[in-house]
Chain A
Amino acid sequence: MIFLRRVPRRIIQLTCFVGAIVMVWPLLPWRIAPRLFQEISPFVALSSSIAARSIGVGTVLALVVAVVSSFKKRWFCLYLCPTGFLLENTNHMGLRKTRWWRKLPPVGKYVAIITIAGAVVGYPVLLWMDPLCIFSSPFAVNKATNPISVFLVCLGLGVLVGATFVFGMAWCVRICPLSGLQDMLFAVRKALWTRLTASTSAQKFSAARRVFFAGAGGALLAFWARRSGAARYRKSDTLLRPPGAVPEDRFAGLCIRCNNCVHACPTKIIHPDTGHEGGLAGFGAPVVKFDRDYKYCLETCNACTQVCPTGALTPLALQPKNKYIIGEALVDNNVCLTALGKKECDACELACPFDAVHIAWDEEQYNAYPVVNDKCIGCGACEVVCPTTPVKAIRVWTQKPA
């Protein structure tokens, strides 16, 4: 009997695992498929809905998962979660044969509480611990242009698989915020069901105290992260986020590091951040870098804005996307070939898809310079064609208020 009950679970798990790959690859014709995959997670849907003050398409799916999970304990983990399936099988081959992790405290629950409390403040602190985004992240590896990016997109799943192989199922059972949230939903449902009769008041009090402290800590952490993120952005010169990005104080929190945008970018200019641009809080979040020859943010593309599951990148149609300001192009006239009288160069003027750069004749100085007007959105078309080496004369910088 046990055998018979196990076989269907394995088959459902395997089906879901394959389905997950199909969704994030993406082998489906719909552009938003990768995004729906992460939106199934109630943890992501709840936190990001609260933080972004908006509800995504996939929230309906998340609601179904949440309702079913509150009746059948860890139903999502046991049947649907592709990360769970991967780690379960890793554990079977792994070194730990005892179930030592059962002694661990339920960390995942507090991760979820901290994150949801942070989301209320607008910064879901530990949203990146969601197992679905950790699963989908390595699929962006085909758009990683350097070894560091390869390392960053594979880091999450690599650590989980490695740790599970060595230490066993600690992540799934005790640390994962999605399983923690499911446990809470189950407990809340059960508590409501039994009208709070079973538990003693002392237990309730200590549990409520822990929840309160975790929530307060999460809110404080979120508050601090938003302030430091905003301060960092004010100081930064080179921090460029993909189009549609919410203001920087909330971006690093809302971003779950699923690397869907990295995966979606046809010109491979979106890279996971090493923390060099966005600081520790922005580790792994996407940044735009115009470091590839002739590759810029295409005026014909809004792919990255369509795949974000949390609203860190607002879904934008092509027209509004081409109005979204990524950065501003600035010219160093001491480098520009035209300004220095070195060459007949108007590469930036010709390359600009928005008619924002013009080589203007300055009668006062009796010289010509590239002049950037208000139409510039920082797509980088000028930067990537600028022929000067080693420094480009025209570069896209973080936009500053005038």
Chain B
Amino acid sequence: MRRSIAAGGLFAAGSLMPVSPAIANEVGGQPVTQSPPQIEARIPATIAGDKVVQPRREVPVLHQTSILVVGGGPAGTAAAFCAKRMGADVTLVERYGYLGGLATGGLVLGIFPLYDRNNKQVIFGVGEELMKKLDVLKDGIIDRNKAPIYPTIDAEAFKYVLADMVLDSGITAYLDCWGVDAIVDSKGAVRGAVFESKSGRQAILADIVIDCSGDGDIYAAAGAAFEKVKTSIGLVSRIGNIDVVDMAPGKGSEDANAEHKPLIGKADEGRPSKGRVNDFNGHAGNSTPAPHVNWLNMRGPVGDALSVADLTELELKHRHGTWSNVEKLRQRPGNEQVYLTETAPQLGVRLSRLLDGCKKLTVQDIRNGVKFKDVIGYSGAYANAPEFQIPYGSLVPAKVENVLAAGRCISAEFEVADITRLIPVCWVTGQAAGLAAALCIQDKCKPRQVNVAKLQNLLHQQGAYLG
């Protein structure tokens, strides 16, 4: 049964009228103790001297919930599903009009790193559940269980699966809603978040907030310490009409056992000339479930993901560059009919803020293969890094209460975060954060006081791999 659309959630966010506390009460199933807030007329910002000043104003409370998940990407959706499954009242807020974040909107379709160095899968749990749902769809996912080849998903199929799961699970979801601020009480604990949407600025009160925004917007606003990093920002695209004859056997990109596959371009005869650029003499991008369509990654220049000027510049230049690269690709024999299917709706921001958590996951930890007592999951082996454990401490801010981080903005050193930012690891941290938040509600405790043994037990029950 699909419910919740009519009951509140999705429609409430889109409706012009703010939701009355009475409706919110009905939806969330939680008693609203406060008196109904008075909605004042919106006062515009004014100029005072040479400064623009926003007057202090009351923000209407849109909704009250137990667990608020900010960000509907891989981590956010995983957190919301797992918390909801525990019977908690969960609200999910997403900035774009679809779910899946960079996995769908960013066209990061390759699901890696899933395997350890011996090609054994080490990431299960909610990620595996989602991939199983994609399995049954036509062209939903390819290269499943073919280690060391990583599976590749279809963005539209994944959007469909996630939307379905939200509709089925009864999670209250607000899309097209941009989390802009944290609500912090007098003791410094987070009590919810403020959102900007077409309905204006509104607040959602919550007992626990899970920050899956990717940029750590909420914990940063709440005053948690973080490290700001800059990485390359690219823009993934999909190209269609790849030559059928050439590409038919070329599913996947790292099959060590299949010499016949055109995994790579035609190598130079003998010594590569220094400084020779890629002339696309070969196969650009990776196969996707959609026939004759490849996804083409772009690394991009280093930029500041927290600067609107950088983001704007890259959004514009990347689309120009992608188009001209496809034109170049068409010059190669066999690729004449290639066209640009789409550029990703979202920029490929890799990292921006990294939390200073109870435990900072370090390169040394990975090299030493440290086993954590509060392990909540594994990351697969990636590049020259082996598989490694992720501790619960890396999700919990060192100081601020009532907020958990999941996804790419967790507490890790830059080089480690470069791995934990990847899709399956976001599933792992998201699932753990969701279950931890649900335990906080159950046991009436703070995130840092969560009974780790209980959490690990729950993760086990939900099929997660903890070593």
Contact = CB atoms under 8 A, between A and B. Distances in A.
Contacts of B259: 389-390
Contact of B265 (A237, A335, A346): A335
Interface string A315-348: 0000000000000001111111111111111110
Nearest to A363: B301
Interface stretch (B10-18, B271-279, B456-464): B271-279
B142 to A, nearest CB: 15
B183 interface: no
A387 B324 contact: no
Nearest to A336: B278
B268 A366 contact: no
Given A294-B384, A369-B278, A387-B254, A338 B271 contact: no
B257 to A, nearest CB: 9
Interface residues of B, number: 44
Contacts of A333: 272, 276-278
B383 interface: yes
Interface string A332-373: 111111111111111100110000000101110111110000
Interface in B273-332: 274, 276-286, 296-302, 321-322, 324-325
Nearest to B236: A341
A237 B271 contact: yes
B284 to A, nearest CB: 5
Q: Is the interface of A mostly helix, strand, loop or mixed?
A: loop
Given A334-B267, A334-B268, A343 B110 contact: yes
Interface residues of A, number: 40
A389 B254 contact: yes
Given A237-B271, A340-B284, A346-B383, A334 B264 contact: yes
A354 B353 CA distance: 28
A366 B324 contact: yes
A159 interface: no
A391 B284 contact: no
B346 interface: no
A341 B297 contact: yes
B266 interface: yes
A330 B271 contact: yes
29 contacts: A237-B270, A332-B268, A332-B272, A333-B276, A333-B277, A333-B278, A334-B268, A334-B281, A334-B282, A335-B264, A339-B278, A340-B265, A340-B285, A341-B296, A342-B253, A342-B284, A342-B286, A343-B297, A350-B384, A350-B415, A361-B300, A362-B277, A366-B321, A366-B324, A367-B325, A368-B300, A387-B254, A388-B254, A393-B264
Given A342-B297, A361-B299, A363-B301, 5 more contacts: A237-B271, A330-B274, A332-B268, A333-B272, A335-B264
Interface of B: 110, 112, 232, 253-256, 259, 263-268, 270-272, 274, 276-286, 296-302, 321-322, 324-325, 383-384, 415, 422
